[in-house]
Amino acid sequence: MAKKLWGGRFNKKTDPLVEKFTKSNDCEIAEYDILGSIAHAEILKKCGYLTPVEANKLLVALSQIGAKRFKKDDSCEDVHTQIQNMVQEKVGDLALKLHTARSRNDQVVFATKLYCKTHIKLCEKFIDGLVSAIAKLAQKNKKVIIPGFTHLQHAQPVYLKDYFQVYIEMLERDKKRLEYISDNMTITLGAGALAGTPIPASNYNIAASKYVKELKKAGLKDLNIVTSNSLDAVSDRDFIIEFINALSILAMHLSRLAEDLIIWSTKEFDFVEIDEAFCTGSSLMPQKKNPDALELIRGNAGRLYGNLMSVLTMMKGLPLTYNRDMQLDKEPLFDSFEKVSLELKVLEGLIKTLKFNKSKIEEQLRDESLYATDMVYYLVDKKVPFKEAHAIVGRLVKYSINKGIAIQKMSQGDLKKFSGNFVKKDLINLFDPKISVKSKKSVKRK
Amino acid sequence: MAKKLWGGRFNKKTDPLVEKFTKSNDCEIAEYDILGSIAHAEILKKCGYLTPVEANKLLVALSQIGAKRFKKDDSCEDVHTQIQNMVQEKVGDLALKLHTARSRNDQVVFATKLYCKTHIKLCEKFIDGLVSAIAKLAQKNKKVIIPGFTHLQHAQPVYLKDYFQVYIEMLERDKKRLEYISDNMTITLGAGALAGTPIPASNYNIAASKYVKELKKAGLKDLNIVTSNSLDAVSDRDFIIEFINALSILAMHLSRLAEDLIIWSTKEFDFVEIDEAFCTGSSLMPQKKNPDALELIRGNAGRLYGNLMSVLTMMKGLPLTYNRDMQLDKEPLFDSFEKVSLELKVLEGLIKTLKFNKSKIEEQLRDESLYATDMVYYLVDKKVPFKEAHAIVGRLVKYSINKGIAIQKMSQGDLKKFSGNFVKKDLINLFDPKISVKSKKSVKRK
Amino acid sequence: MAKKLWGGRFNKKTDPLVEKFTKSNDCEIAEYDILGSIAHAEILKKCGYLTPVEANKLLVALSQIGAKRFKKDDSCEDVHTQIQNMVQEKVGDLALKLHTARSRNDQVVFATKLYCKTHIKLCEKFIDGLVSAIAKLAQKNKKVIIPGFTHLQHAQPVYLKDYFQVYIEMLERDKKRLEYISDNMTITLGAGALAGTPIPASNYNIAASKYVKELKKAGLKDLNIVTSNSLDAVSDRDFIIEFINALSILAMHLSRLAEDLIIWSTKEFDFVEIDEAFCTGSSLMPQKKNPDALELIRGNAGRLYGNLMSVLTMMKGLPLTYNRDMQLDKEPLFDSFEKVSLELKVLEGLIKTLKFNKSKIEEQLRDESLYATDMVYYLVDKKVPFKEAHAIVGRLVKYSINKGIAIQKMSQGDLKKFSGNFVKKDLINLFDPKISVKSKKSVKRK
Amino acid sequence: MAKKLWGGRFNKKTDPLVEKFTKSNDCEIAEYDILGSIAHAEILKKCGYLTPVEANKLLVALSQIGAKRFKKDDSCEDVHTQIQNMVQEKVGDLALKLHTARSRNDQVVFATKLYCKTHIKLCEKFIDGLVSAIAKLAQKNKKVIIPGFTHLQHAQPVYLKDYFQVYIEMLERDKKRLEYISDNMTITLGAGALAGTPIPASNYNIAASKYVKELKKAGLKDLNIVTSNSLDAVSDRDFIIEFINALSILAMHLSRLAEDLIIWSTKEFDFVEIDEAFCTGSSLMPQKKNPDALELIRGNAGRLYGNLMSVLTMMKGLPLTYNRDMQLDKEPLFDSFEKVSLELKVLEGLIKTLKFNKSKIEEQLRDESLYATDMVYYLVDKKVPFKEAHAIVGRLVKYSINKGIAIQKMSQGDLKKFSGNFVKKDLINLFDPKISVKSKKSVKRK
């Protein structure tokens, strides 16, 4: 039977259903809680609650626990309790001193923030992986021009590399956003349950012993971890909402990439071929090669939003300071990280093996309507006011569609009916994707 | 290595990350998929795809698999694949015939609908348990009167039993809503992947063999399970959204009950005492007895809403028919059921052991403002127009607060200044909770 | 300056910002509040609070107010206050009696429920309009076969009419769901603020005078409007959540139809032509004909979900009974109705004018992979176990793709390499969409 | 009849319902669109599309339009169209040149980003106002000690000023977050519809004419507004999601403050008195003084979350580049700003007039359980291991509650039964809120 970190005033045992219901699914923060316990042991030593010998015994024990893969003991209320119990197994009653002047309200924030910082770093690494794969794909196909889409309709020819660069822009914004969130996450100890502790603030500036070095590696830049408002320290979950929100925006970006590729890999578009390793088949239809990974990436956006909504709603109208509701921040956090990081890694592989069907793309580039805007600019260069030029070309396009005659096949006489400025031999040159993309000069690529 | 239900056309193996990413967390529907396979075997027998001997072998194998606690084999893509493989282990290549004219697109809907129907029944049972506990509590305290609240401010005295009856009303609505959802869930087979199968529709009216009987028990009222639109059958997830939505409303109701009890169990209110078995303590503050179970019930509303949002968003803008995104309906469904059913059971226990602090409640009933509306009715009975009476009593209350004089302590002369209709000896009788509640006659309790 | 329905006890005027902030945007329920006031006047007459002459004056005044288009007076807190003031302008101080034994907490529920009932009816009418347009379109194209999609990939040939029938199925479910919600919405009066009123319950069974007849027309089936739990009556907002949820599911359905049509109207698919009256152009690109209406229908699903989330979250953890937060139910409700009803009407027009490009569709039907499942059934009919047949055809399809040879062009010798059961002249017949759809017999159309 | 910015290729007029349905509710960005048009006119002049005289006429016209309060013309599709039409009314056909090489896809992003930047500044100002009011209130009550709460249960005594400082910490984080969002919002022109324009990039570095100066004031730091990826420019809505998310977190913070004050102003707590100017009354119960403004602040959190969900869901799975769905970003944006800014202003006034009921607070401070943790530290100082001390005090508290004897009233003998370290005369000193708060030394206030 697992011991609890409380209970003296209780006459009764907790109802078994309540034990199950209130259990925290918090295994992911165990290693950070151990680091927090190490920091706390150092602090207790510094201020005299522990002798150096006692502190050392605890530090060794904690370090040993931390060195092994942590397995959650399901009979424990949470990892804080389990770690405390594990220390006790190793050092006996000395462990009873470790909990001096600390509270799980404070511990959980410390550990969760370290989790966030380290996992933001991981996210950034996975983003880099995908960005690099996209950049290589774009570079490899740097001369490919595709029909650009607005409203999923043919708009104007654009470079494929510029299309993919959009996703790099998104991902770079995501990374920057994550960095900001991590940089502004202040890690502290010493809030106690809510009111602070009797340990003087100066002790929360812990020296970098060999044990504490791990903390720096785990994302703690500054070892001055004193709190400036203990009530805020235990009440705040902004950092979790910010992280999940950033992951939601990231998931939204990936859902757009997924959608583009799903549409481009239809039989009708046939612009790309997704490698078989990233597809699955059908149990009934033997011909099927379905873009399942992309579909799940698209669908997971909903999951991420749900996680965000879950935590935002949970925090709505909570009185100060800590309330148990806040325990429900963890599953959505872990799940959001897991889903998005897997998406990034899957997409990296998928992008690396993506192939373009250039003949199909070129076929679509023959659509004359893609060059309508270029015809407008042609007229504008001949001093036709823009909106008038727009109307002229609009009528020309309509005529072409209604009569089923390509503009390039129209006689000079036909063209003149729309504008005296049209010169057939010049006009014909416009229907060239290369000329079209080169005529756009307003963009200054980074 | 687990076999797949597809693969002939594939040259490559699935990327291991993709295998992990696309795996379905669908263990909960295994037993219903086995029932679906039993039904399918009967159908195959009926239309001659299986001989009676073959069908029997498969039915025995399926029945044996279903009889044991199902354990998900993590190397399998989903439970459909695993069950197919398990059958093959038992009956060899005969299993290869079982998948004739069926598709996972169809299977998963069949199994998930049966899951929903059986779990709606469970929910209803748990609701009944909580309703019964509340009803007993209300009955036990049927004479207790409390200050009724609007805006969390004292409004008028009401019966405690009527307060608790509100939650019964909510729960009865929840139950009715769930029943409606179950009743309108049409269970079918035969959609194939999307286009139907070559098996004639009449065969989907399966006779009730000993194996099929289980289906009836599991919630299938009608064994005519022929589909009327195969494309809709595999595209539709309304039933999941409806179930999660009903559970979200239910969770919202429980969050309100939780909030009422959390507030009532503060030191300041002190109206109720929550049994220790439903509270937990603090690792720092030894005196604490916190209503953690109630707080988690309050917070879980966010979780439920997140699950709802997750599935709704996933379904947004999905083209017909089946898309892999839809696989993401399952975790939110299972989680919603699990959370709400646990909440119902925990609350049942908590309500059964709830105690009222009647002296504290009575103290609050002495608040004269609770009887202000009764004073208005007193004047209205003396023919003062309602809004005028309202203004008079408003001024009287203001005077009482500003001067710090209880209305009951005012002289007849003082009272007359507000209205000539006030007769002190009559007025004084109004400040009695029993008289107040009895004077309300507009409600006809069920 | 507008009068308020309260104020006697207040020394100070409301802060102007607070007046602005707390104002209810509730104009849409004005006509139903007038009907509620008519019912209330009848009740007051019945129980003697009003003489027949007084009641008649009030009824005439209310009826006159109701007959005109209601314009919200922005200086009023809400429509209840404004209507009360309008009555006073007409009948003077007699109006002061109208508010006898009633509370806005009760009034607003009465009026909003009537709003819901009448607007559910409207929704049903708009659904019928769209269903009828889709049915006609399906009927008109009843012989058209299209490639059916799963995962947006070619799956099997299906009837276009069956594809559109899916949306009819969805819409019929939506309608049924709305009907259920309306049927279960019990309209009552007499809850007062929370505790009931001194008017005996029997008086809430109002006779059908000429004024009350309007109530029946507005959706009140039963004129016995007595409440069974007054605390629940003012605390409950389930009916609003249910309505918005049903509209959200409906909006999700429409977003899927929109997505299908957006994809089908791309240059690459080119299956449908959307009438110009339902498209818009570009300010820069003269050729553009964009499916803007469909895109907004797709995007509005998010809006509907947001509205649902808004009300669900607002209700989370609200203590009993009425809290002002609940006022925030109205804007999401009105907005959800307005958006969805407009979507239904726009889609009705769009569907009526939709044209199919049959030659493009037929071109896609030549894709041999669409008939792969039929080849499997061909082998199954020759006693090849299903999963083996599936693997054989999978290999055949792979070979066909890799070698670039159509299956129909392969020699009998080539085919035999995959299965001894293949007979070329029989096999060739399978590649016919008509034969394919006719071979599916498992569906029994309604 | 309002003119459109497109139409040449169209044979038919837009369906009136579609006109209504697709209309953009975008009045709030009109002034920023005018600034964008001014910038665009300068650019057209710089690159020779407009002569200086032409440019000047357009600039004067735009400036005149901008100087007046903008009123949306409901017959116009959007403000871009209306402004173009207004210019045409002033300068005739010259206006037709203004739309040269621009697209509403680009314009709307420019204007909306300027809207965001200016409104973020406004938010920051309103935050400052509330922070200042809270700081003054905290300063004024700097010696007041209150029972600190966790789980809404008495935890430990804390300074009231520290409690309120939590909200300042939240608000400062909100402000910082908003600043980051604004700083990272890059404003550009020149994306055209998606592909860029023929105007060379250098021209998008516009000189600061008298007209352009307004742009700087409106939040444009750098007048080099050249775009680095035109496809991203028109596809990106991250900035809107980020702004709404930041406002959602802010609204969540305010909902917590609201909840604290709602609970503290109950009759049972009675810690604070909310000024009448921030309360409203009841139409039935004359005594009522309800904290309606606070309740609406609490409830509006749901509204904000709904707005966030609305935009996130709308963006899910949108293919590149611009889609009309994106128009639906505006109403949630404007609404979120309006709601939160009003909340901040209302709260500023409410906080300024808030009064504390010190006697009621002091009464609660007499609760001995608030000092239990201090007793633990007392034992720890006497070398009792922490967890043992925790258990001892837990048992003491339980004994005190069960027997109904205050700890301060227990004899030395009774105390010794729990721990030999208890010395009654020392212990008694612990039950003093001032001593309790001063003994907490771990916090270093900023």
Is residue C355 helix, strand or coil?
Answer: strand
Burial (CB count within 10 angstroms: exposed 0-12, middle 13-18, buried 19+), residue A279: buried
Q: Chain C closest CA to D190's CA: distance in Å?
A: 12
d(CA A118, CA A216): 11
Q: Chain A closest CA to D328's CA: distance in Å?
A: 14
Confidence of residue C3 (pLDDT cuts 50, 70, 90): confident
Is there a contact between C148 and B176 if contact means CB atoms under 8 Å apart? Answer: no
When CB atoms are compared, the residue of D21, D276, D296 closest to C328 is D296
Given the residues C75, C202, C282, C411, select the one marked as catalytic: C282
Given the residues A24, A282, A390, A411, select the one marked as catalytic: A282
- Provide the residue count of chain D: 446
The answer as to whether A250 is a domain residue is: yes
Q: Chain D closest CA to C136's CA: distance in Å?
A: 20
Chain B neighbours (≥3 Cβ pairs under 8 A) are A, C, D
Does A272 contact chain C (CB < 8 Å)? no
C236 and C284 housed in the same domain: yes
Chain B residues inside the 8 Å CB shell of A77:
280
Average pLDDT, chain B: 94
Q: Which residue of B has its CA nearest to A327?
A: B296
The answer as to whether C222 is a domain residue is: no
B293 and B406 housed in the same domain: no
Q: Identify the bridge partners of residue C153 per DSSP, sorted by sequence position.
A: C150
Chain A residues inside the 8 Å CB shell of B342:
17, 20-21
Find out whether D422 and D415 touch, Cβ atoms under 8 Å. yes
Does D98 contact chain C (CB < 8 Å)? no
d(CA C154, CA C371): 10
| pLDDT number for residue B2 | 53
Whichever domain contains A290, its CATH number is 1.20.200.10
Q: ipTM strictly over 0.95?
A: yes
Does B135 contact chain C (CB < 8 Å)? no
pLDDT digits (tens, 9 = 90+) for C273-301: 999 999 999 988 989 999 999 999 999 99
D134 and D282 housed in the same domain: yes
d(CA C392, CA C386): 10
Q: Which residue of A has its CA nearest to D96?
A: A387
Confidence of residue B396 (pLDDT cuts 50, 70, 90): very high
Burial (CB count within 10 angstroms: exposed 0-12, middle 13-18, buried 19+), residue C50: buried
Is there a contact between A249 and D232 if contact means CB atoms under 8 Å apart? Answer: no
d(CA A55, CA A75): 28
The answer as to whether B4 is a domain residue is: no
Q: Chain B closest CA to A318's CA: distance in Å?
A: 9
D388 and D316 housed in the same domain: no
Interface of D with A in 190-209 (CB under 8 A): 190-201, 203-204
Is there a contact between A288 and C393 if contact means CB atoms under 8 Å apart? Answer: no
Chain D residues inside the 8 Å CB shell of C21:
293, 296, 342-343, 346
d(CA A188, CA A190): 7
Q: Which residues, including other chains, have CB under 8 Å from residue C53's CB and lie 6 or more apart?
A: none
Mean pLDDT of A383-390: 92
When CB atoms are compared, the residue of B291, B309, B394 closest to D286 is B394
Would residue D80 show up in a list of annotated catalytic residues for this protein? Answer: no
Return the active site residues of B: 151, 282
Find out whether C142 and B185 touch, Cβ atoms under 8 Å. no
Does D443 contact chain B (CB < 8 Å)? no
Chain D residues inside the 8 Å CB shell of A11:
398
Does D319 contact chain B (CB < 8 Å)? no
Domain stops at, among B71, B100, B129: B100
Least confident of C14-18, C435-439, D309-313: C14-18
Mutation choice for D interface testing from B146, B150, B285, B297 by most D CBs within 10 A? B285
d(CA C84, CA A59): 74
Segment holding B155, helix H or strand E = strand B153-159
Q: CA–CA distance from B3 to each of B416, D107, D192 (Å)?
A: 92, 55, 52
The total of other beta-carbon atoms located within 10 Å of residue C12's CB is: 11
The answer as to whether B355 is a domain residue is: yes
Domain stops at, among B78, B100, B122: B100
Mean pLDDT of C153-166: 98
pLDDT digits (tens, 9 = 90+) for A249-302: 999 999 999 999 999 999 999 999 999 999 999 988 989 999 999 999 999 999
Residue type, D376: V
Find out whether A37 and A61 touch, Cβ atoms under 8 Å. no
| pLDDT number for residue C2 | 53
**Lookup result for tokens 């004018």:** C353
Chain B residues inside the 8 Å CB shell of C171:
none
Chain B residues inside the 8 Å CB shell of D369:
287-288
Chain A residues inside the 8 Å CB shell of D155:
193-195, 321
The total of other beta-carbon atoms located within 10 Å of residue A334's CB is: 18
When CB atoms are compared, the residue of D229, D255, D316 closest to A169 is D229
B326 and B258 housed in the same domain: yes
pLDDT digits (tens, 9 = 90+) for C35-71: 999 999 999 999 999 999 999 999 999 999 998 888 8
Would residue A99 show up in a list of annotated catalytic residues for this protein? Answer: no
Q: Which residue of C has its CA nearest to D3?
A: C283
User: Quick check: bond before D373 cis, omega within 30?
Assistant: no
Does C279 contact chain A (CB < 8 Å)? no
| pLDDT number for residue C216 | 83
Segment holding A361, helix H or strand E = helix A358-365
Is there a contact between C201 and B443 if contact means CB atoms under 8 Å apart? Answer: yes
Least confident of A170-174, C337-341, D69-73: D69-73
Domain stops at, among A67, A85, A100: A100
Mean pLDDT of B206-212: 76
Is there a contact between B8 and C158 if contact means CB atoms under 8 Å apart? Answer: no
Does A4 contact chain B (CB < 8 Å)? yes
d(CA A274, CA A280): 11
3-state SS string for chain D: CCCCCCCCCCCCCCCHHHHHHHCCCCHHHHHHHHHHHHHHHHHHHHCCCCCHHHHHHHHHHHHHHHHCCCCCCCCCCCHHHHHHHHHHHHHHHHHHHHCCCCCHHHHHHHHHHHHHHHHHHHHHHHHHHHHHHHHHHHHHCCCCEEEEEECCEEEEEEEHHHHHHHHHHHHHHHHHHHHHHHHCCCCCECCCCCCCCCCCHHHHECCCCCCCHHHHHCCCCCCECEECCHHHHHHCCHHHHHHHHHHHHHHHHHHHHHHHHHHHCCCCCCCEECCHHHCECCCCCCCCCECHHHHHHHHHHHHHHHHHHHHHHHHCCCCCCCCHHHHHHHHHHHHHHHHHHHHHHHHHHHHHCCEECHHHHHHHHCCHHHHHHHHHHHHHHCCCCHHHHHHHHHHHHHHHHHHCCCHHHCCHHHHHCCCCCCCHHHHHHCCCHHHHHHCCCCECCC
Least confident of B155-164, B221-230, C252-261, C339-348: B221-230
Interface of C with B in 50-89 (CB under 8 A): none
Distance of CA D47 to the CA centre of its chain: 41
Interface of D with B in 235-264 (CB under 8 A): 262-263
Chain B residues inside the 8 Å CB shell of D269:
266, 268-269
Is there a contact between A441 and D163 if contact means CB atoms under 8 Å apart? Answer: no
Q: How many structural domains are present in chain D?
A: 3
Q: State yes or no: pLDDT of B7 exceeds 90.
A: no
Q: State yes or no: pLDDT of C215 exceeds 90.
A: no
When CB atoms are compared, the residue of A234, A298, A394 closest to D7 is A394
User: Quick check: bond before D280 cis, omega within 30?
Assistant: no
Range(s) of the domain holding residue A53: 16-100
A239 and A350 housed in the same domain: yes
Q: State yes or no: pLDDT of B1 exceeds 50.
A: no
d(CA D313, CA D178): 22
Q: CA–CA distance from B345 to each of A16, B161, D392 (Å)?
A: 11, 21, 33
The answer as to whether C179 is a domain residue is: yes
Does C305 contact chain B (CB < 8 Å)? yes
B112 and B148 housed in the same domain: yes
Residue type, C298: R
The answer as to whether D255 is a domain residue is: yes
The answer as to whether A435 is a domain residue is: no
More confident residue, B183 or D216: B183
Does B291 contact chain D (CB < 8 Å)? yes
Q: Of A136, A323, A306, give the one whose Cα is nearest residue A237.
A: A323
Q: Of B254, C427, C19, give the one whose Cα is nearest residue A21.
A: B254
Mean pLDDT of C146-167: 98
pLDDT digits (tens, 9 = 90+) for B242-280: 999 999 999 999 999 999 999 999 999 999 999 999 999
Whichever domain contains B55, its CATH number is 1.10.275.10
**Lookup result for tokens 């165990």:** A30
d(CA B300, CA B247): 11
B61 and B172 housed in the same domain: no
B255 and B274 housed in the same domain: yes
DSSP state at residue D25: -
Per-residue pLDDT of chain D (446 residues; tens, 9 = 90+): 357 878 788 888 988 999 999 999 999 999 999 999 999 999 999 999 999 999 999 999 999 999 888 888 888 899 999 999 999 999 999 999 998 999 999 999 999 999 999 999 999 999 999 999 999 999 999 999 999 999 999 999 999 999 999 999 999 999 999 999 999 999 999 999 999 999 999 999 987 677 878 888 888 888 889 999 999 999 999 999 999 999 999 999 999 999 999 999 999 999 999 999 999 999 889 899 999 999 999 999 999 999 999 999 999 999 999 999 999 999 999 999 999 999 999 999 999 999 999 999 999 999 999 999 999 999 999 999 998 999 999 999 999 999 999 999 999 999 999 999 999 999 999 999 999 999 999 999 98
Does A370 contact chain D (CB < 8 Å)? no
Q: State yes or no: pLDDT of C137 exceeds 80.
A: yes
Q: CA–CA distance from C418 to each of A283, C389, C412, C414, C422 (Å)?
A: 19, 10, 10, 7, 8
Is there a contact between C287 and A364 if contact means CB atoms under 8 Å apart? Answer: no
A–D interface: beta-carbon pairs under 8 A: 376
Q: Of D382, D385, D410, give the one whose Cα is nearest residue D396.
A: D410
C299 and C381 housed in the same domain: no
Angle at B58 between CA B54 and CA B59, to 5 degrees: 115
Is there a contact between C390 and B99 if contact means CB atoms under 8 Å apart? Answer: yes
Is there a contact between C286 and A153 if contact means CB atoms under 8 Å apart? Answer: no
User: Quick check: bond before C313 cis, omega within 30?
Assistant: no
Token digits for A304?
């991420």
Distance between start and end Cα atoms, chain D: 62
Q: CA–CA distance from A377 to each of A388, B7, C214, D101 (Å)?
A: 11, 52, 63, 8
Is there a contact between B170 and C232 if contact means CB atoms under 8 Å apart? Answer: yes
C348 and C372 housed in the same domain: no
Does B397 contact chain C (CB < 8 Å)? yes
Chain D residues inside the 8 Å CB shell of C4:
281
Confidence of residue C1 (pLDDT cuts 50, 70, 90): very low
C79 and C115 housed in the same domain: no
pLDDT digits (tens, 9 = 90+) for B54-100: 999 999 999 999 988 888 888 889 999 999 999 999 999 999 999 89
Mean pLDDT of B326-333: 98
| pLDDT number for residue D1 | 38
Is there a contact between C369 and A287 if contact means CB atoms under 8 Å apart? Answer: yes
d(CA B255, CA D93): 63
The answer as to whether B189 is a domain residue is: no
Token digits for B408?
């009951």
Whichever domain contains C380, its CATH number is 1.10.40.30
d(CA D343, CA D347): 6
The percentage of residues in chain A with a pLDDT greater than 90, rounded to a whole number, is 85
Least confident of A151-165, C12-26, D116-130: C12-26
